[in-house]
């Protein structure tokens, strides 16, 4: 399986994928920001990179078309969003349905969007974590595949939660990507997801050690 990783920042989840020895191959790393440190991680790993700056395009659709063209040029089978800070257009998402993953720092469907750690604390949640899900046109609403779960401690703040959740992200994201690479997890044409040849109803939960 040929994988492209889309990034905008530091690239810690990209590094986790690089370190995971996936059975698939990361063939390209694309960023909308030329200064993203994730690009340097890709260079060190000998992986092709491309920068497509969104401000150079007149519309979201035009930017997405340029990204799509690059993915096709790399002959990509799976797109992995790893801190890619752009909302993708419905037309783009539809073209990659069942072939594009995201990781979100909350236990979806709780706390969609931004500032998830603050939202979890404000809500008095006893559990928090992260979710790997398929990307759909509706923000943070695609089927959840796996969740990293932690217990919120009485002394946790936004920073400590963010650090703990990041560790879980680095654990579960490579795991789900590998499931897709080795066909343990399969997205079917009817939109159903099979895990170990059985329909996946609820995300697999992996708890903080």
Residue 31 DSSP one-character state: E
Q: Is 104 a catalytic residue?
A: yes
- What is the spatial distance between Cα 96 and Cα 54, in angstroms, rounded to a whole number? 19
Catalytic residue selected from 104, 117, 128, 133? 104
CB 119 within 8 A of CB 140: no
Residue-by-residue DSSP string for 115-143: -HHHHHHHTT-SEEEEEEEE--SSTT-SP
Residues 6+ apart with CB under 8 A from 30: 4, 5, 6, 7, 49, 50, 51, 52, 67, 70, 71
Q: Which residues are the active-site residues?
A: 104
């Amino acid at each position: 399986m040929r994988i492209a990783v889309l990034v905008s920042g530091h690239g810690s989840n990209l590094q986790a994928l690089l370190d995971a020895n996936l059975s698939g191959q990361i063939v390209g790393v694309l960023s909308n920001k030329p200064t993203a440190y994730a690009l340097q991680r890709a260079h060190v790993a000998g992986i092709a990179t491309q920068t497509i700056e969104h401000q150079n395009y007149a519309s979201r659709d035009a930017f997405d078309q340029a990204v799509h063209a690059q993915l096709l040029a790399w002959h990509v089978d799976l797109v992995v969003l790893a801190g890619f800070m752009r909302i993708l257009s419905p037309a783009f998402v539809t073209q990659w349905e069942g072939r594009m993953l995201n990781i979100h720092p909350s236990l979806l469907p709780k706390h969609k969007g931004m500032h998830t750690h603050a939202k979890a604390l404000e809500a008095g949640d006893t559990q928090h974590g992260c979710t790997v899900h398929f990307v759909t046109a509706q923000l943070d609403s695609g089927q959840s595949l796996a969740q990293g779960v932690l217990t919120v401690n009485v002394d946790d703040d936004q920073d400590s939660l963010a650090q703990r959740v990041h560790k879980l992200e680095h654990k579960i994201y490579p795991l789900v990507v590998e499931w897709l690479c080795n066909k343990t997890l399969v997205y079917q044409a009817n939109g159903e997801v099979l895990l170990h040849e059985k329909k996946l109803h609820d995300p697999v939960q992996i708890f903080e050690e």
